[in-house]
A and B are shown apart, each in its own frame.
Chain A
Amino acid sequence: EAAVTQSPRSKVAVTGGKVTLSCHQTNNHDYMYWYRQDTGHGLRLIHYSYVADSTEKGDIPDGYKASRPSQENFSLILELASLSQTAVYFCASSDQGQGYAEQFFGPGTRLTVL
């Protein structure tokens, strides 16, 4: 069954530490995305990628890096985690860009930075 999976599902990190969130999709989609969701706010795009070994900045990329080593895998890296990065992070994939094509979402990773 085609799916988007994320790991870990939850994580507690210390301020200043490095955090890596991983995403794996079996949809055979070219596009992958990382969003963050804050309570009471809509999802916001952090980074996206449309081909392996290439990533693009989204609307709120500061403090985040992304890596797309293969079509199936897309990682989000917080080199120096900060309190303000506490949020739920969602990965998504689609077979076309952020237009009409439906995006398929993973279950999310709840990150708490202390």
Chain B
Amino acid sequence: KTQVEQSPQSLVVRQGENCVLQCNYSVTPDNHLRWFKQDTGKGLVSLTVLVHENDKTSNGRYSATLDKDAKHSTLHITATLLDDTATYICVVGDRGSALGRLHFGAGTQLIVIP
């Protein structure tokens, strides 16, 4: 059973618009949550990591929130650029140690058009 669900599956926005990507999970325990960006044909690159109960992070035009009670995270992208076209993957770690496992979502494919 999929333990990390991302929505929407795909999203098309115009350059300059804002967008919000959602991640819901059932992983227990939920030690941390990380958002990755995957350009087409490339590997995953970390955007941000959230650790605490109601964490909020910001990395340039990317900002993220985590609600551990609701097991929900959002990734906000402000003023999108064409280079933001990519798949965004939510990953939940069930421990903060070497014994932990990472649980990957299937990703949201974002397409930014001129």
Partners in one complex: yes
Q: Tell me the A residues contacting B by CB distance below 8 Å.
A: 4, 31, 40-45, 50, 59, 90, 92, 96-100, 102-108
Binds A, one of B63-71, B76-84, B99-107: B99-107
Q: Is the CB of A97 within 8 A of B2?
A: no
> How many A-B pairs fall under 8 Å by CB?
69
Q: Give 13 new A-B contacts, CB below 8 A, not counting A99-B96, A102-B46.
A: A42-B89, A42-B107, A90-B43, A90-B44, A97-B99, A97-B100, A99-B93, A100-B32, A100-B51, A100-B96, A102-B34, A104-B43, A107-B43
Q: Tell me the B residues contacting A by CB distance below 8 Å.
A: 2, 4, 31-32, 34, 41-46, 49, 51, 89, 91, 93, 95-107
The 3 A-B residue pairs with the shortest CB-CB distance, nearest first, are: A97-B98, A42-B104, A105-B43
Q: Which of B31, B99, B101 contacts A100 (CB 8 A)?
A: B31
Q: Is the CB of B49 within 8 A of A98?
A: no
Q: Which chain A residue lies CB-closest to B39? A: A107
Q: Is the CB of B106 within 8 A of A107?
A: no
Q: Is the CB of B44 within 8 A of A44?
A: no
Q: Which chain B residue lies CB-closest to A97? A: B98
Q: Give Cα A90 to B41, complex, Å.
A: 11
